Amino acid sequence: MLTIGELSRRTGVKIPTIRWYEQAGLIDEPGRTAGNQRRYDDADLERLAFIRHARDLGLGIEAIRELIDLGQHPDKPCADADRIAATHLAGIRARIARLKRLEKELARIAGCRGDTIGECHVLAALSDHKQCAAEH
C-alpha cells in the first residue's frame, strides 16, 4: 500500500492534483488507515499513471473519463477510443497549423529593421500588417 506522498513521487502527480482527481471521480476514493491516512494500491498507481500520460498528451478530463470508462469494458470494440484519439489529433494538427502561421508572421515582423523607435518597423508592422511585405 502506498501513501499519497509515495503515489505522488512515483507518478510525478502533485498531491493536490491527486486529491482533485479523487473528487472528480477519475480515481476511486482510497482506503484509509485507522489514523485516516489515504492508502493506495497498485491499481491506483496504474490508473494515476494512465491519467498522467493522457494529460501529458493533452487530453482533456472528459476524454480521459471516457477512456477510463471504456477501459472497464475490455470486450467492447475500440472504435470509441480511436474516435477520441483521432479527434484530439485533429485538434493538435489545427493548433500546429495556427502556430506555423504565427511563426511565419512573427518572422516577417522580426525581419523589419529600423534604427529608432520612431522608425521601428516591428511596431509599424503590428499596426499595419502590410508593412514590410514588399521588403520580404
Give per-residue pLDDT as tens, 54-72: 999 999 999 999 999 999 9
32 has which bridge partners?
38
Residue 136 pLDDT class (50, 70, 90 cuts): very low
Integer-rounded Cα Rg, in Å, for the chain is 24
- In the chain, the domains with their CATH numbers are 4-76 (1.10.1660.10)
| pLDDT per position as a tens digit, 81-116 | 999 999 999 999 999 999 999 999 888 878 767 677
Residue 122: its pLDDT value, please?
78
To which residue does cell 471504456 refer? 70
Task: Kindly state the cell numbers that stand for 108.
Answer: 516577417
For the entire predicted model, the pTM comes to 0.76
The pLDDT assigned to 134 comes to 47
> What is each CA distance from 126 to 52, 123, 130, in whole angstroms?
39, 5, 9
CB atoms within 10 A of CB 50: 16
